[in-house]
Amino acid sequence: MDGAWVDRLEKRFGFLAVPGLPGLLTAMTAAAALFASAKPEFVGALALDPEGLLLGQVWRVATFLIVPPRSSILWMLLWLAMIYAVLSALEAAWGEFKLTVFLAIAAAMSTASALVTGAPGDNGPVHLANFLAFARLAPDREVLLMFVFPVKLRWIAAVAAALTAIQLLGGDNASRMRLLAGLSAYLLYFAPGHWRDITLAWRRRGL
């Protein structure tokens, strides 16, 4: 990660770090899922809806991050475990401030995208950015695919990146902007490192 600019920010604004973000976001997502199971329309009050934002419902800038997916109890538990594991790994590697900035950038850019396009946003691209960051920091860590097959994170991230590229190429302008907005923090943190990897590979091959 190329975080010199984040380090400079931390020296001046480190007091703005939100402690315990992995546990907080996981717990709030679990609570949202419980409320939604009893009152499905509850999720609508949390979503990144541009009309609601224009009416002054500013909480949506943050609460869309905890909107749970529609799934069974088992998959919800796995989703919560994944959120906590990924965010905890990022917090351990970066510290509280860098993780706070990472999520704040994603939330702010997703909000801007929703307001510009007039299309509701969602937290899928943000969670994708979180996972890609995790895979970038620990590419050789293995997870059990389908609880059976050990696969390194680098390969899962490569597939996710390929599918994202296909979405960017085949989607409309609103969906492209939504996806790029959610990935903006990842690009700011890691794009310089990816570019160095590419140029180094070119040099090794004499290109």
Q: What integer pLDDT is reported at residue 3 of this predicted model? A: 66
Alpha helices, DSSP H, located in 39-172: 50-54, 60-63, 73-94, 96-117, 124-137, 153-170
Backbone angles phi, psi at 143, to 5 degrees: -125, 155
pTM over 0.85: yes
Q: What integer pLDDT is reported at residue 99 of this predicted model? A: 96
d(Cα 34, Cα 41) in Å, to the nearest integer? 12
Mean pLDDT in order along the chain per 10 residues (207 residues)? 79 91 96 90 93 95 93 88 95 95 96 94 95 93 80 92 92 92 94 77 69
Q: Do 68 and 32 meet the contact criterion of CB atoms below 8 Å apart? A: yes
Q: What integer pLDDT is reported at residue 1 of this predicted model? A: 63
Q: What integer pLDDT is reported at residue 7 of this predicted model? A: 85
Q: What integer pLDDT is reported at residue 206 of this predicted model? A: 62
Tokens of 140: 């050789």
Domains of the chain: 4-204 (1.20.1540.10)
Q: 142: which DSSP letter?
A: E
Q: Quick one: which H or E segment has residue 185?
A: helix 173-204
Distances (CA, A) of 21 to 60, 85, 129, 138: 17, 12, 16, 20
